[in-house]
Chains A and B, each alone.
Chain A
């Protein structure tokens, strides 16, 4: 069955450093992959989408890579700030006929210390 894995351990880094989060998937060939941010008590917020034919995507301090051979996406936050502290979720489309149904990883919690 399709499976998404994110590092369940919290990632603690110092302000100003680059945070790198990993998303691995198996038994699956998605057309794209999405990253969301979720703060405690709130709904997820979309950050970035990367398609299968794209190797890398950037948005301000965010960078996402997508390696369909390794079945892995890396999510980078450069010059991290305490305000970046949150849980980050990767999501993949699934379902027959491209229904828009998403499956989510469990998320990795990032803590940026000042």
Chain B
């Protein structure tokens, strides 16, 4: 059973460009979470999605950031018009339906390291 997959692992964008980060959850998992980790800071929750639904986006910046988890395909975190402050590691995690929202652990991907030049 493959783990959570994220791609690309490293992404370099110039200021003003768009960044698209992809996450494929573990097989059988229908709940996806995105977190951001800035240098020397802890993991910060961004958004929680189920298939075709955003459940909690309280950690998402109001502008330029969006996330989706379509019926088919990976979850996408999209950052428009990137700025240097967006440089960070972005982690995706997934959990199975029976545990989501209760007490289940989350399984993390390897992360995408975004660098904005």
- Enumerate chain A interface residues (CB-CB to B < 8 A): 31-32, 34, 36, 41-46, 49, 51, 89, 93, 95, 97-107
B residues at A contact (CB < 8 Å): 4, 31, 33, 35, 41-45, 48, 55-56, 58-59, 91, 93, 95, 100-111
Alpha-carbon distance between A100 and B45 when the two chains are bound, in angstroms: 11
Q: Are A100 and B105 in contact (CB under 8 A)?
A: no
A42 touches B111 (CB 8 A): yes
**Contact A42/B48 with A49-B103, A98-B101 known, Cβ cut-off 8 Å:** no
Give the total number of A-B pairs whose CB atoms are below 8 A apart: 65
Query: Could you tell me the distance between the alpha carbons of A97 and B103 in the complex, rounded to whole angstroms?
Result: 13
Offer 8 A-B interface pairs, CB within 8 angstroms, sorted by A: A44-B91, A46-B105, A89-B43, A95-B48, A99-B55, A99-B56, A101-B45, A103-B45
Question: Which among A49, A104, A106 has the greatest number of chain B C-beta atoms within 10 A?
Answer: A104
Contact present for B107 and A46 (CB under 8 Å): yes
- Are A43 and B56 in contact, with the CB atoms below 8 A? no
Are A106's CB and B103's CB within 8 A? no
How long is the Cα–Cα vector from A102 to B35 in the complex, in angstroms?
9
From B35, B48, B100, B103, contact of A51 by CB (8 A): B103
Question: Most B CB atoms within 10 A — which of A49, A93, A99, A106?
Answer: A99
Docked pose: A44 CA to B110 CA in angstroms: 8
Establish whether residues A101 and B56, one from each chain, have CB atoms under 8 Å apart when the complex forms.
Answer: yes
